[in-house]
Structure 1
């Protein structure tokens, strides 16, 4: 039975691994070997990775793929994607090629405002609190000048600060609601530092305010933190072409394809069970780019799914229509991304990914990322309404199954040839592999 450990963070990496092996891996030499197998042979590079997080024992690798031929706003991009799921990069690449022959993708950042909040309680009237806020607002902004100075030089900073009364939802609850522009930085540390200074000054001024009672002076800061919901940090991406241009490799007319495609999107707009899977396909493209460029995919996921629920029902992120004989497919999503700070200047592959994208600004990266999500969704819907999703997915998954069963190169060649003419299922692959071996 394993035992708790004290001072684990102070152990060396080797000591951590030995403790892990002894308590959870039955001291299995193969397990220890696997942990060490993924260490980088470059000691300095490994040390860099070790210091990204706490208690590191190894590196966890994901494939980094490239989806080429993305024509975005008249310029070509090769998009780096870090993801483990079969067929995602292939599907994005296929969609990119399809639309590059039809005018490409158009993308535009509509807004870049980010949000932070100071959450606090106050046992008094809103009018008295608001009077204090209006009096000290210039002092609040002055107090963060040392923090905002460099951001303001880059054209960003604090856009607005408001006092919000939330007592109808929760007794005595108020917030400072702050809007930021963080330029090419994702800005989490910048935003949180500003908010904590606002909280400090607000509490001090409340305690010293002559018109406040003893109870009112006891203004309590609950927390100061940015929001990952950024409904005013929006990017739009779209594609369009004449309906008749949609018939390529589908065995359908362009009109039939457009009708089925739009119906599939409308189902996702009104049916939450479908919308979740529909949007997961969008996120296959978005997450892969966000991860490859060193951004916070958990924050992006949370914000986008909240945005998909803003009407009170979870719905599709993408939309489609035919207008005057032209098929249009588009997405509008919140994306708070950065191209400076964090891993963007530390992780060698993140730096490489940004180099591949020609060192984009945060706004350009927002456009590229939204396009990746739209392309992925187009490819998924196209498969669903034509051949079905499994044909392409299982073709890509075939190699994973063969690797899982340690197929040789000769066996892989024969299996790929066989399944060019047969339906791929997990059981059929195993059955054919056993026949081949016998």
Structure 2
């Protein structure tokens, strides 16, 4: 295979074999090409079938980038126990989730409700002409738009899903001549991106075809320009609620001696996140630690979920907390409502071996059940973070979990690890304090 390069610019790269790609990268960018090649190949799966499967997930694959798959047990959700899979690289997240799960498992567990499962897609188009004529035209072709998608929606309809509604939206007050076909869908257990986009493209095709036979339009008005047809990752009507509650006196545990004081401080911390965007972003990031970890483990699109969740957090004009808390009649309550468009069939769910493993460990949930599990993980993570922040502080637990990463960076021996862990059982963990202590040890040992 021939390729041409000049100052790191290369043509024909995608046509190279995997071996040729990594050879080019190693020679072009690394002072020690042999070492770079060895590193890449060390992360290839020894099972050729599995490696080939991974290679075909994306383009120009050169190796695998591993993230840990951990589990958090003891989640009691609507009376049923779960052990939850979590894929994440951040220290203390899995431990915090497991700790919160155990705490609430003896206090009634988590309660969840799916409020709606509606997903959205839009055809964006430009129309120069009479808006009233366009509305009349849309009413005439609406049924045709739906009928034209019959071959696409047939299987989805058998599962109880499909197109829910299509409406014409006039957005000319925002952009001159700009309109939308705004469609809603129920995609049952699939995330449904391909299904929705296929329906939208058919709507656009029908729109452009039918406009020529609408007699009320002038020739100019028939020149509808479809800009794009695409689903939206903002799903404000695909919402799940997760909550916990218990009498104040049941909040007592190791770091909570005065449950009323703890609850009041906890509620104030949530209120700050509700009104202060600088705090809300970090507050919600903690929630997403729990949510993203399961979304990735189950083969869903965490970037789509993130974008939709943060848009939802800004729906009232200011970025705000996703979670809320209150004390009422001696009962502490903590809850969140979050948009989650998830799937348990299609995409990676049927391809990635560890995704299949994760879903089976969750007892093969429906999309609605997965929404509830994921929302609970977010609430548990948020509870754990706020409990630490309002009691011992966030760093005590986080840095002790981070200690392993520091020891790996310093290439600590087994003997050093034993002594260091013992020392920091009673001392504050910081990167500099660990460095100082290991240097001291190495002078002695």
Common topology (TM > 0.5): yes
Q: Who is 1:418 aligned against? A: 423
Q: Please show how residues 140-289 of structure 1 align to structure 2 within 5 Å.
A: 140-289=145-294
Q: Deviations for 1:280-326, whole angstroms, at most 9, x for unmatched residues?
A: 00000000000000000000000000000000000000000011110
* 1:26 paired residue among 22, 31, 41: 31
Distance between the aligned counterparts of 2:415 and 2:200, measured in 1? 61
Q: Distance in 2 between matches of 1:401 and 1:27?
A: 26
Q: Distance in 2 between matches of 1:250 and 1:3?
A: 57
Q: Distance in 1 between matches of 2:193 and 2:32?
A: 41
Mapped partners of 1:200, 1:251: distance in 2: 62
Q: Deviations over 1:232-273 (max 9, x none)?
A: 000000000001111211243110000000000000000000
> Does the residue aligned with 2:174 lie in a helix, a strand or coil?
coil
- How far apart, CA to CA, are the structure 1 residues paired with 2:426 and 2:432? 16
Matched-pair contact (CA < 8 Å) for 1:238–1:374: yes
User: Following the alignment from structure 1 to structure 2, what is the Cα–Cα distance between the partners of residues 62 and 2?
Assistant: 33
Q: Match for residue 16 of structure 1?
A: 21
> Aligned equivalents of 1:24 and 1:201: distance in 2?
50
Q: RMSD value over aligned CA atoms?
A: 0.8
Instruction: Determine the structure 1 residue equivalent to 2:384.
Output: 379
Q: Is the 8 A contact 1:2 1:23 kept in 2?
A: no
**TM-score when normalising by structure 1:** 0.99
1:186-207 alpha-carbon deviations (Å, 9 max, x no partner): 0000000000000011011113
CA distance in 1, matches of 2:97, 2:319: 25
Aligned mates of 1:224, 1:197 — CA distance in 2:
9
Q: In structure 1, what is the Cα distance between the partners aligned to 2:32 and 2:442?
A: 34
Answering whether residue 68 of structure 2 is matched by residue 63 of structure 1, we say: yes
Give yes or no for contact 2:256–2:262 (8 Å, CA) kept in 1.
Answer: no
Does 251-260 or 291-300 show the bigger shift? 251-260
> Residue 7 of structure 1: CA displacement?
1.1
CA distance in 2, matches of 1:411, 1:12: 45
Residue 129 of structure 2 corresponds to residue 124 of structure 1 = yes
- Distance in 2 (CA, whole Å) between partners of 1:374 and 1:136 is 45
- Measured in 2, the distance between the counterparts of 1:166 and 1:396 equals 51
Matched, 1:336 2:341: yes
The number of residue pairs the alignment matches comes to 438
Q: Corresponding residue for 1:347?
A: 352
Distance 1:43 1:285 in 2: 33
User: Alpha-carbon deviation of 1:208?
Assistant: 3.1
Aligned to 2:401: 396
Match 2:319 to one of 297, 314, 320: 314
Post-superposition shift, 1:210? 2.2
Could you tell me which runs of 5 or more consecutive residues in structure 1 were left unpaired when the two chains were aligned. Answer: none
Between 1:27-36 and 1:387-396, the stretch displaced more is: 27-36
Moved over 6 A (4+): none
Gaps of 5+ in 2: 1-5
After TM superposition, give the deviation of residue 181 of structure 1 in Å.
0.1
